[in-house]
A and B are shown apart, each in its own frame.
Chain A
Amino acid sequence: MERKLLEVRNLHVRYNTDEAVVYALNGLDIDLEKGETLGLVGETGAGKTTLALSIMQLLPQKVGQITGGSILYDEKELLKFSVKDMLALRGDKISMIFQDPMTSLNPVMSVGDQISEVLEQHFPELSKEQKSEKIDEIMNMVGIPSSRKVEYPHQFSGGMKQRIVIAMALIAEPDLLIADEPTTALDVTIQAQILELIRQLKVKFNSAMILISHDLGVVAEVCDNVAIMYAGEVIEYGPIETVYLKKDNHPYTRGLFNSLPELTRNVDRLEPIMGYMVDPTNLPAGCSFAARCDRCMDICISKKPPVFSDGAHSIKCYLYQHWADK
Chain B
Amino acid sequence: MSKYIFRRLLMLIPVVLGITFLIFLILSLSPGDPAILILGSDASHEALVAKRAELGLDKPMIVQYANYVLKVFQGDFGKSWIDGNNVLPMFLERVPYTLYLGSLAMLFAVILGIPLGVVAAIKQHHLVDYFSIASAIILFSLPAFWFGMMAQILFSLILGWLPAAGADTPRHFILPALTLGANIFASQIRMTRTSMLDVVKQDFIRTARAKGVPELKVITRHVLRNGMLPVVTQIGISFASCMGGSVVTEMVFSIPGIGSLLINAVKSRDIPVVMGTLIFVAIVVGIINLIVDIIYAFIDPRVKFKG
Stretch at the interface among B147-155, B266-274, B295-303: B295-303
CB <8 Å contact, A105 and B204: yes
Stretch at the interface among A96-104, A138-146, A219-227, A301-309: A96-104
Q: Does A107 contact B (CB under 8 A)?
A: yes
Partner pick for B211 among A90, A107, A152, CB 8 A cutoff:
A90
Chain B residues lying within 8 Å of A270, measured Cβ to Cβ, are: none
CB <8 Å contact, A104 and B211: no
Stretch at the interface among A64-72, A117-125, A283-291: A117-125
CB <8 Å contact, B214 and A87: yes
Number of interface residues of A (CB under 8 A): 28
CB <8 Å contact, A107 and B214: no
Q: Does B212 contact A (CB under 8 A)?
A: yes
Query: For the complex, what is the distance from the CA of A58 to the CA of B203, rounded to whole Å?
Result: 12
A121-B204 contact, Cβ under 8 Å, with A107-B302, A152-B301, A154-B301: no
Partner pick for A117 among B203, B208, B299, B300, CB 8 A cutoff:
B208
CB <8 Å contact, A165 and B302: no
B interface majority secondary structure:
helix
A95-B211 contact, Cβ under 8 Å, with A107-B300, A108-B299, A154-B302: yes
Q: Does A168 contact B (CB under 8 A)?
A: yes
CB <8 Å contact, B211 and A98: no
Stretch at the interface among B23-31, B68-76, B165-173, B220-228: B220-228
B223 to chain A, nearest CB (A): 10
CB <8 Å contact, B207 and A165: yes
A156 to chain B, nearest CB (A): 12
Chain A residues lying within 8 Å of B300, measured Cβ to Cβ, are: 107-108
Partner pick for B203 among A56, A90, A103, A110, CB 8 A cutoff:
A103
User: How many residues of B sit at the interface, in one of the four size bands?
Assistant: 20 to 34
Chain A residues lying within 8 Å of B213, measured Cβ to Cβ, are: 87, 91, 117, 121
Q: Does A92 contact B (CB under 8 A)?
A: yes
Query: For the complex, what is the distance from the CA of A65 to the CA of B226, rounded to whole Å?
Result: 28
Q: B283-307 CB contact bits vs A (8 Å, 1 = yes)?
A: 0000000000000000111100000
CB <8 Å contact, A121 and B211: yes
Partner pick for A92 among B202, B212, B226, CB 8 A cutoff:
B212
Q: Which of B195-212 contact A (CB under 8 A)?
A: 202-204, 206-212
Query: For the complex, what is the distance from the CA of A96 to the CA of B208, rounded to whole Å?
Result: 11
Query: For the complex, what is the distance from the CA of A121 to the CA of B299, rounded to whole Å?
Result: 24
A219 to chain B, nearest CB (A): 23
Partner pick for B206 among A58, A88, A118, A154, CB 8 A cutoff:
A58
Query: For the complex, what is the distance from the CA of A104 to the CA of B222, rounded to whole Å?
Result: 12
Query: For the complex, what is the distance from the CA of A107 to the CA of B222, rounded to whole Å?
Result: 9
Q: Does A109 contact B (CB under 8 A)?
A: yes
A90-B210 contact, Cβ under 8 Å, with A106-B222, A107-B226, A154-B302: yes
CB <8 Å contact, B211 and A106: no
Task: Determine the residue in chain A with the shortest Cβ distance to B204.
Answer: A106
Q: Does A89 contact B (CB under 8 A)?
A: yes
Chain A residues lying within 8 Å of B203, measured Cβ to Cβ, are: 98, 100, 103-104
Q: Which of B177-207 contact A (CB under 8 A)?
A: 202-204, 206-207
CB <8 Å contact, B302 and A104: no
B47 to chain A, nearest CB (A): 66
Query: For the complex, what is the distance from the CA of A118 to the CA of B217, rounded to whole Å?
Result: 12
Partner pick for B209 among A58, A108, A118, A165, CB 8 A cutoff:
A58
B227 to chain A, nearest CB (A): 10
Query: For the complex, what is the distance from the CA of A117 to the CA of B218, rounded to whole Å?
Result: 11
Task: Determine the residue in chain B with the shortest Cβ distance to A115.
Answer: B211
Partner pick for A168 among B206, B211, B221, B222, CB 8 A cutoff:
B211
CB <8 Å contact, B207 and A98: yes
A177 to chain B, nearest CB (A): 11
Query: For the complex, what is the distance from the CA of A154 to the CA of B214, rounded to whole Å?
Result: 25
A257 to chain B, nearest CB (A): 32
* Residue in A95, A121, A122 with the greatest tally of chain B CB atoms within 10 Å: A121
B123 to chain A, nearest CB (A): 12
A300 to chain B, nearest CB (A): 38
Query: For the complex, what is the distance from the CA of A41 to the CA of B212, rounded to whole Å?
Result: 27
Chain B residues lying within 8 Å of A58, measured Cβ to Cβ, are: 206, 209-210
A89 to chain B, nearest CB (A): 7
A162 to chain B, nearest CB (A): 12
A106-B208 contact, Cβ under 8 Å, with A152-B301, A154-B302: yes
13 intermolecular pairs with C-beta atoms under 8 Å apart: A89-B212, A95-B211, A98-B207, A103-B203, A103-B204, A104-B204, A107-B300, A108-B226, A108-B301, A121-B212, A122-B212, A152-B301, A165-B207
Given pairs A56-B210, A90-B210, 10 additional interface contacts (CB within 8 A):
A91-B210, A91-B212, A98-B207, A103-B204, A106-B204, A107-B300, A108-B301, A117-B211, A117-B221, A121-B212
Chain B interface (Cβ within 8 Å of chain A)? 202-204, 206-214, 221-222, 225-226, 299-302
